[in-house]
Structure 1
Amino acid sequence: MALPKITVNALNLQQGPFPTVEKYLLFIGVAATNVGELLFLNTDSDLDVELGEADSELKRQLIAARQNAGENWAAVAAPVANGALWDPVVDMAMNENVKVEGIVICTPVNQASDYTAMQTKAVNIMAQYGRRVFFIGAARAIDSETESWSEYITAINDLTDTLSADRVSPVPYIFDDAVGIIAGRLCNSGVSVADTPMRVETGPLVGQDQTTLPVDKDGVRYNMAHAKALNDQRFSVPSFFPDYPGVFWSDAQTLDAPAGDYQVLENLRVVDKAARAVRLVLIGLIGNRRFNSTPTGEAWAINKLMRPLREMSKSTVFQGIPFPAELKPPVEGDIVITWITREKVEVFMKARPFEIPKEITANIVLDLSDPTA
């Protein structure tokens, strides 16, 4: 006869929240205080204490980022000495387990190979740590004493010509805090990772206006012709509308190849967010026989893998106003599983972002018909 035996197992079904790094950036730039340290900052931080009372490249960008991001802003800063390389600082941050969505290089690049190095570093970080990051890389400002806008635009175009780097967004210093401004707009609490910094409803740039737009050696003020020329060369720049107050922004372009899916940063960010969560789900599926080639096993795995997409697709309509999610809701067929061998499986997933109006044309016609006819 058997003896009575009771066993109670508390099963971990991995239903907890996914950790997030979105809207959390690492800034690297020149400052006089705490050189070589990693500083963890938020809206309460005293930047005069952390970075010194004097103006500096890094402090200027962090002030702009904080102003344009608004409440709940937080970031990591790494002050460096003038002339120091950013590459070892990124390595130090990664080794210290600093997890961020993107890395902002505040010191202007000198040559196209610097942007290539950022792309290479992003790929290497993904390979070594499984972390997905993008880079915002500064380009130099115009020399208003010696350069015309034509000379300036022609000169910095050499930085992006022929490059293919879908994890790098180049930003010239049209304003002296331009890099911080766009970093702040990307981290604004009122927008999601699926939003473009072009979004007018986010509000105009904080800290700058049309009177502060720079001039060249001939006194010609930056205008939308210059913005278009830089935008055509894949730079992310300030923009504005005639007879409309405030200065806004263009797309956060990347250096992706023509016809690439990731030519704008919002496409990269939304897929990266999904991929970070999916990676954690996949790790939990390793060695789990519930995930097998039977219809039941595949359906169970698909349901697990759908979770990040479902969480990113929760839209709201309030008083007739739509508040779209980051992705459209997943539907049947958006995840397909293929068994290569008994132990090797390949998963294909579809993430579908919402459309964004970036060029709008309105057509108005007269109705001269006789209302009494």
Structure 2
Amino acid sequence: MTWPNVTVSQKNRYNGTTNDIERVVLYVGYGDTNTDKTQAVNTGTDLDKALGDTDSLLKRIVAAAANNAGQNWFAYVHVMPEPDPDDAGNKVDDAWMKAVTDAQSVASVEGVVLAFDVTEKATINRATEMRTTLQTKFGRFVWFVLSVGGTEEDESWADYQTRMAALENGIASPGVQLVPRLWGNEPGVLAGRLCNRSVTVADSPARVATGAVTALGSDDLPKDGTGQEIDLAVLQGLQANRYSVPMWYHDYDGIYWSDGRTLDVEGGDYQVIENVRVVDKASRRVRLRAIPKIADRSLNSTPGSIAAHETYFGKPLREMSISSQINGVEFPGEVKPPKDGDVTITWTSSVAVQIYLIVRPYESAKEIGVSIELDTSLENQA
């Protein structure tokens, strides 16, 4: 015998929106105000109050980022006290690594900018390790921008390039970018350009239609220690050595950006930052959809379940592929729409399942060749 009753259950299909981690960056540097704190800043923040009245590299880089990011810029800043001049490099690395780790309790970001000059391979390696640590400890996918100083006293551009080549040589790190400070504020300029909401995370900082960069830090072209003005050959040489630098086009006004180079290996898929960002974004969203499926028996090896969950786990890719059409011009999504087979589910045991996703970025023309043909035949003249 059963007592008549009605039970109403509310199901959660996890189809809601998630927090927008993209375009939010953490800036870590030195100052004498609000030290050892992680602060939220935006376009309305008084940086003199937040970061102190005195001029600092951190404040200049943050201001340059805000200037290039444009409307609705939002970021976090962690101010470290000035280091003891006698501190060895490992103590300096320990300090910024602790700052990044401590900030995780306040800030979930897609990138970290170290607003002080890196001089040793060890710091680059620590940034590589920190990217892995944040993935394993917090499930967060974070890229890094590391500042590198300009030329030293009496150092020529040729000697500078030799020193820069030695600094990055032998390091494999897809999530780390090295940005020389030749004008002064380039790390902030690049980070702000990547956070500009007029473009997507799939767009390269080299995109000219985004506009010229601003707040570089100097109105004149940089000079080396011998007084020689920089030229495009120097910048091209730095990019060839995996540095991310500004550039310009002759007879075309403004200064722009070259490729967003990372320290990925030659032939790697993540040699440019836009590829890192689209895969990081997909990884964040798929992770949030995988967590609710732990021990949920609706995810099983039956054909119906596999088909349903291929659709379920493919949702982030479908959302990222949404395009827009304005005045007859199509603006593509961040990735191409997933095709059949781009989401695959394989059971490796009764309690372990592997989900494979293929992310297909759109093509982006960074080398454009134009051929012009002259036709002087009489029959084609009016």
> Shared fold (TM-score greater than 0.5)?
yes
Aligned Cα root-mean-square deviation (Å): 1.4
Percentage identity across aligned positions? Answer: 39
CA distance in 2, matches of 1:61, 1:98: 19
Please state if 1:102 is matched with 2:130: no
What's the CA shift for 1:208? 3.9
CA distance in 2, matches of 1:347, 1:88: 34
SS at match of 2:346: strand
Q: What is aligned with 2:35?
A: 35
CA distance in 2, matches of 1:215, 1:121: 34
Q: What is aligned with 2:12?
A: 12
TM normalised by structure 2 equals: 0.94
What's the CA shift for 1:253? 0.8
What's the CA shift for 1:372? 5.9
* CA distances 1:263-320 after superposition (whole Å, capped 9, x unpaired): 1111010000000000011111111222111111101111110110010000012222
Please state if 1:93 is matched with 2:108: no
Query: Which stretch of the first structure deviates more once superposed, 279-288 or 266-275?
Result: 279-288
CA distance in 2, matches of 1:205, 1:229: 20
CA distance in 1, matches of 2:4, 2:35: 67
Q: What is aligned with 1:215?
A: 223
Q: What is aligned with 2:87?
A: none
Q: Read off the aligned partner of 1:17 and give its amino acid letter.
A: T
Give yes or no for contact 1:32–1:56 (8 Å, CA) kept in 2.
no
Give yes or no for contact 1:312–1:326 (8 Å, CA) kept in 2.
yes
Q: Unpaired segments of 5 or more residues in structure 2?
A: 84-91
Q: What is aligned with 1:198?
A: 206
CA distance in 2, matches of 1:198, 1:187: 13
Q: Read off the aligned partner of 1:78 and give its amino acid letter.
A: H
What's the CA shift for 1:81? 2.3
Mapping of residues 1-373 of structure 1, within 5 Å: 1-83=1-83, 84=92, 85-94=95-104, 96-143=105-152, 145-208=153-216, 211-369=219-377, 370-371=379-380
What's the CA shift for 1:126? 0.6
Give yes or no for contact 1:214–1:222 (8 Å, CA) kept in 2.
yes
* CA distances 1:182-227 after superposition (whole Å, capped 9, x unpaired): 0100001111110110000111011249952201133221111001
* CA distances 1:311-369 after superposition (whole Å, capped 9, x unpaired): 00000122221111001001111011111111111111101010110010000001222
Q: Read off the aligned partner of 1:140 and give its amino acid letter.
A: G
Query: Which stretch of the first structure deviates more once superposed, 291-300 or 208-217?
Result: 208-217
CA distance in 2, matches of 1:55, 1:156: 27
Give yes or no for contact 2:183–2:217 (8 Å, CA) kept in 1.
no
SS at match of 1:77: strand
Q: What is aligned with 2:89?
A: none
Q: Read off the aligned partner of 1:9 and give its amino acid letter.
A: S
What's the CA shift for 1:5? 1.1
Give yes or no for contact 2:184–2:218 (8 Å, CA) kept in 1.
no
Count of equivalent residues: 371
Q: Read off the aligned partner of 2:80 and give its amino acid letter.
A: V
Q: Unpaired segments of 5 or more residues in structure 1?
A: none
